[in-house]
């Protein structure tokens, strides 16, 4: 069942940002390092392993007027080094906000948070192809 969404409340932040000159407070906000980004000529690095501890749960799918967001029940985690993050939700962007040496059609952002409120977001990039995606078909 589709629940009504208060789009005005969801976009309240977007409506109010023009009142504050972000480019003065954070020079990165002038648009040169914002989405979409293209990661080109990436170099290998020694990074900690991402350990996903997920299992099957009922999903709460919400169309918030901006994207399709899937809220996740507590208890699913991502461990990076010695830090544990709980999966809060995932959502989609079309076209993708990230690129690696070119374009991608879709990105899924898996949004996790630790107990102190620090986020860890994992991006999964999709390319359009002939094969069906059981994951996307299920959603």
* Catalytic site residue from 10, 32, 66, 118: 66
The verdict on whether 66 is a catalytic residue reads: yes
- For 3, list phi and psi in degrees, rounded to 5: -90, 145
Q: Which of 5, 137, 135 lies closest to 67, judged by CA?
A: 5
- DSSP characters over 63-90: E-SSSEEEE--TT-EEEETTEEEEEEEE
Please tell me what DSSP assigns to residue 121: E
Residue pointed to by tokens 């969801």: 10
Dist CA 100 CA 106 (whole Å): 12
- Catalytic residue ranges: 66
């Amino acid at each position: 069942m589709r629940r009504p969404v208060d789009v005005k409340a969801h976009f309240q932040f977007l409506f109010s940002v023009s009142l504050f000159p972000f480019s003065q407070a954070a020079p990165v906000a002038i648009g040169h390092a914002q989405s979409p980004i293209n990661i080109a000529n990436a170099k290998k690095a020694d990074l900690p392993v991402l350990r996903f501890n997920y299992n099957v749960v009922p999903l709460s799918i919400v169309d918030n007027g901006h994207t399709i967001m899937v809220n996740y029940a507590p208890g699913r985690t991502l461990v990076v080094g010695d830090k544990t993050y709980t999966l809060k939700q995932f959502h989609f962007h079309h076209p993708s906000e990230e690129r690696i040496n070119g374009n991608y059609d879709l990105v899924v952002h898996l949004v996790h948070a630790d107990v102190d409120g620090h986020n860890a977001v994992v991006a999964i990039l999709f390319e359009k192809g002939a094969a069906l995606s059981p994951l996307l078909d299920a959603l």
